[in-house]
Amino acid sequence: MKMKNVFKINKKYTVNISRDEKEIYEDDYIVKSIGECGLFQISVCSIVTMTRFIGIWNCLSVLFLIPAQSFRCIHFKENGTIHPENFTCYSDCIEYEYSQEIFEETVISKFNLICDRAWLANFTQTALMFGVLAGVSTFCWMSDRFGRGKAIFLAGLTNIAFMIAIIFSTNYFMFLCFRFGIGVGSGGFLGLSSIIIAETVGASYREMGVSLGLVPDGFAQASLAAFAYYSSTWKMYLFGFTVVSILIVVLLFFVPESPRWLVANGKSDAAIEVLTKAAKINKRSPTEIENIVAQRISEIKIKESDAQYHTYFDLFRTKELAVITVSSIISLFVSGISFFGINEYISRLGSSLNIYLIVMIMGLGVTPTVPMSMVIAKRCNRRSSSAISLLITAIAMGLLIFVPADTWYSILLGVIAVAASCVTFSIQFTFVTELYPTSMRSMGFGLNTGGTKLGAMMAPFVASSKPFWVAPLIFCILPIIAIVFTLILPETKGKKLKDTLKE
């Protein structure tokens, strides 16, 4: 009787659920125990979602850390009648003067990242994204091996430690090392948040949960403009969102272990304890939870002592798994280079446009993509919706080739391209979490989103390509390639999450 009530509530928020899908949803042991979506799921998902603020702040802070900053020589080796020009390097220049349009001191002016050292400015983002890649792989492996809760909390501590340390950097090498450390912690957040959400809510709420989990991305980017506007130096800028990040990490104390992970690893007692507390929070009877968990564990035939721990090589164990892994890595690589690259490219378009306003518009412009992606994911299958959003990105960037830089038309096309990339992210994150079983879901998600980070590592160099039309041309071609690999993946919409590789 209670299952009918759960489905009745669910029906209010979903559209066109078939009888087969209803049977799949109701057969899930988590749904039987605590319902599809209640106060417990909302609380856990809200806290986990907030960690994405920290990840996005760190990944996009580069927009103000290394802006397009003008400079000119003010002291030559020999006094002469040379009239130095902006953005011009001189072999006999001893000292350069930097503009202070954004900060009194930026990372570029602090470490003199101009002329023959200009590539080091872009490399700061590459180092951070390399750290994110390492963090996603490491913390996703840890979450499969030791639990989701332990992994995401350790990622939080790693983040805060390096975010505080970087403020005290005295040279470029220290700054670079701390950026890498920040990337490692941020990778943990960006890799685990979608996994925990997908495993916490019921199947019919999965698209909604994962999509809403990306809500902070746009707001985080927009808020960077506020942090930068009220900061006088790059250190104050970083300190501002570090303080807020500490408050978010404290909330991770209240995130319990994923009951799906506990069941998949044969930890029946711990799973029953978590589900019993969750049922009480959701105002449901916990009397049948012990039997439900015991039945599920007997179905997958796993005892705690016999739990299997996979390695990344298992993601290529069969031909089917190898095709899935390679195809989704390529698709997410394109999403990463598009989202981060287009953001940087648009922010560098010209000096006549207000960078604070541009970053805020780019951030707020992608926020509506969350409800949009929820509707698309619910009404369309994963492959076609991903392909369409990739195509929109390609068309917008193709048109940008023929639009003059330093105009609001170019900003509009940039917003459309980034928004389409966000829709792709939302759908693909849901897609990838459904492609792998619980026993290796985090590793699969981590390795695949590693493609995103590889794309983000290359993004600054693509965004700074000359002449100006080269970057949008690359951002136009890559999504078309990604469409081919996306269509290779098997459809997962409406299917129950698997717990073991045998399933």
**CB 238 within 8 Å of CB 271:** no
| pLDDT confidence band for 252 (50 / 70 / 90) | very high
What does the pLDDT look like over 264-285, one tens digit per residue? 888 888 989 999 999 999 999 8
Low-confidence winner among 52-61, 126-135, 185-194, 492-501 (lowest mean pLDDT): 492-501
Task: Dig out the tokens for 97 from the structure.
Answer: 């003067």
SS3 233: strand
Q: Residue 140 sits in which domain range?
A: 2-67+117-264+307-486
SS3 498: coil
| CA distances from residue 85 to 72, 90, 99, 116, 466 in whole angstroms, order as listed | 6, 10, 13, 17, 20
Cis amide prior to 467 (ω within 30 degrees): yes
**CB 428 within 8 Å of CB 384:** no
pLDDT score, position 430: 77
**CB 104 within 8 Å of CB 235:** no
| pLDDT confidence band for 503 (50 / 70 / 90) | low
Number of Cβ atoms within 10 Å of the Cβ of 157: 13
What CATH number is attached to the domain comprising 198? 1.20.1250.20
Residue 104 resides in a domain: no
What does the pLDDT look like over 381-402, one tens digit per residue? 888 888 889 999 999 999 988 8
Beta strands in 356-436 (DSSP E): none
| pLDDT confidence band for 156 (50 / 70 / 90) | very high
Write phi, then psi, for 489 (nearest 5 degrees): -65, 150
Interval 359-369 mean pLDDT:
83
For residue 250, give every residue at least 6 positions away whose Cβ sits within 8 Å of its Cβ, in sequence order, or none. none
What does the pLDDT look like over 45-62, one tens digit per residue? 999 999 999 999 998 898
Helix (H) or strand (E) holding 76: strand 71-76
Residue 75 resides in a domain: no
What does the pLDDT look like over 9-34, one tens digit per residue? 333 334 344 444 444 444 578 888 88
How far is residue 400's CA from residue 378's CA, in Å, rounded to a whole number?
A: 31
**CB 194 within 8 Å of CB 429:** yes
What does the pLDDT look like over 208-232, one tens digit per residue? 887 788 888 889 989 999 999 999 8
- Range among 59-68, 372-381, 403-412 rated most confident: 59-68
Residue 79 resides in a domain: no
Residue 169 resides in a domain: yes
Q: Which residues pair with 265 in a beta bridge?
A: none
Residue 350 resides in a domain: yes
pLDDT score, position 480: 93
Q: Which residues of 459-496 are buried (b: 16+ CB within 10 A; e: fewer)?
A: bbbbbbeeebeebbebbbebbbebbebbeebeebbbeb
Residue 350 has pLDDT above 60, yes or no: no
Provide the domain count of the chain. 1
Task: Dig out the tokens for 412 from the structure.
Answer: 């509009």
The half-sphere exposure of 301 on its side-chain side, counting CA atoms within 13 A, is 3
| CA distances from residue 390 to 13, 126, 132, 330, 395 in whole angstroms, order as listed | 27, 24, 23, 13, 9
How far is residue 450's CA from residue 329's CA, in Å, rounded to a whole number?
A: 7
Helices (H), 318-368: 319-347, 355-366
Residue 234 has pLDDT above 90, yes or no: yes
Write phi, then psi, for 72 (nearest 5 degrees): -155, 155
Mean predicted lDDT score pLDDT of the chain:
83
Residue 407 resides in a domain: yes
- Range among 64-78, 224-238, 291-305, 424-438 rated most confident: 224-238
What are the DSSP calls for 110-160, one per residue?
A: HHT--GGGTHHHHHHHHHHHHHHHHHHHHHHHHHHHH-HHHHHHHHHHHHH
Helix (H) or strand (E) holding 182: helix 172-200
pTM of the model as a whole: 0.76
pLDDT score, position 12: 38
The position carrying tokens 């639009």 is 403
Rounded percentage of the chain residues whose pLDDT exceeds 70: 89
How far is residue 123's CA from residue 458's CA, in Å, rounded to a whole number?
A: 9
What does the pLDDT look like over 84-93, one tens digit per residue? 778 788 888 8
Q: Which of 210, 213, 432 is nearest to 329 (CA)?
A: 432
**More confident site: 156 or 313:** 156
Residue 496 resides in a domain: no
How far is residue 404's CA from residue 445's CA, in Å, rounded to a whole number?
A: 39
Low-confidence winner among 135-149, 320-334, 455-469, 477-491 (lowest mean pLDDT): 455-469
For residue 160, give every residue at least 6 positions away whose Cβ sits within 8 Å of its Cβ, in sequence order, or none. 185, 242, 245, 246, 249
